[in-house]
Amino acid sequence: MILRDDGATWDLGYPRAIEVEPGVVLTHYWMNLAEPGSGDGGGVRHIASTRFRP
Protein backbone atom coordinates (compact mmCIF):
# COMPACT_ATOMS: atom_id res chain seq x y z
CA MET A 1 0.00 0.00 0.00
CA ILE A 2 1.43 3.40 -0.96
CA LEU A 3 0.60 6.04 1.61
CA ARG A 4 2.37 8.92 -0.16
CA ASP A 5 4.17 9.44 -3.45
CA ASP A 6 5.59 12.94 -2.95
CA GLY A 7 8.93 12.01 -1.35
CA ALA A 8 12.21 13.21 -2.82
CA THR A 9 13.75 9.73 -2.61
CA TRP A 10 12.74 6.17 -1.80
CA ASP A 11 14.48 6.56 1.53
CA LEU A 12 12.13 7.13 4.44
CA GLY A 13 12.11 5.64 7.80
CA TYR A 14 10.96 4.14 11.01
CA PRO A 15 7.23 3.87 10.30
CA ARG A 16 4.96 3.17 13.24
CA ALA A 17 1.25 2.49 12.88
CA ILE A 18 -1.60 2.40 15.36
CA GLU A 19 -5.34 1.91 14.98
CA VAL A 20 -6.74 5.18 16.38
CA GLU A 21 -10.37 4.19 16.03
CA PRO A 22 -12.06 1.13 14.57
CA GLY A 23 -10.95 0.84 10.93
CA VAL A 24 -8.72 3.95 10.97
CA VAL A 25 -4.92 3.67 11.07
CA LEU A 26 -2.42 6.47 11.77
CA THR A 27 1.17 5.93 10.57
CA HIS A 28 4.12 8.19 11.47
CA TYR A 29 7.48 8.22 9.60
CA TRP A 30 10.30 10.54 8.58
CA MET A 31 10.74 11.69 4.98
CA ASN A 32 12.01 14.43 2.68
CA LEU A 33 9.52 16.18 0.41
CA ALA A 34 10.41 16.67 -3.24
CA GLU A 35 11.03 20.40 -3.52
CA PRO A 36 12.02 22.23 -6.72
CA GLY A 37 15.73 23.01 -6.82
CA SER A 38 16.58 20.93 -3.76
CA GLY A 39 18.67 18.31 -5.57
CA ASP A 40 18.60 14.59 -4.97
CA GLY A 41 18.24 14.87 -1.20
CA GLY A 42 14.97 16.73 -1.32
CA GLY A 43 13.83 19.28 1.18
CA VAL A 44 14.18 19.27 4.93
CA ARG A 45 13.79 15.87 6.56
CA HIS A 46 10.78 15.92 8.86
CA ILE A 47 8.31 13.76 10.75
CA ALA A 48 5.05 13.21 8.89
CA SER A 49 1.94 11.11 9.36
CA THR A 50 -0.82 9.63 7.26
CA ARG A 51 -4.28 8.66 8.48
CA PHE A 52 -6.11 6.09 6.36
CA ARG A 53 -8.62 3.25 6.21
CA PRO A 54 -6.98 0.04 4.99
Whole-structure pTM value: 0.74
6 within 8 A of 38, measured Cβ to Cβ: no
Q: Is residue 39 part of a domain?
A: yes
Q: Is residue 1 part of a domain?
A: no
The total number of structural domains that make up the chain:
1
Q: Is residue 35 part of a domain?
A: yes
Each residue's pLDDT tens digit, 2-45: 888 888 877 788 999 999 999 999 999 998 877 766 556 667 78
Spatial CA neighbour of 5 closest among 40, 36, 33: 33
40 within 8 A of 11, measured Cβ to Cβ: no
Q: So what's the pLDDT on residue 38?
A: 59
Q: Which domain holds residue 48?
A: 13-52
β partners of residue 52: 25
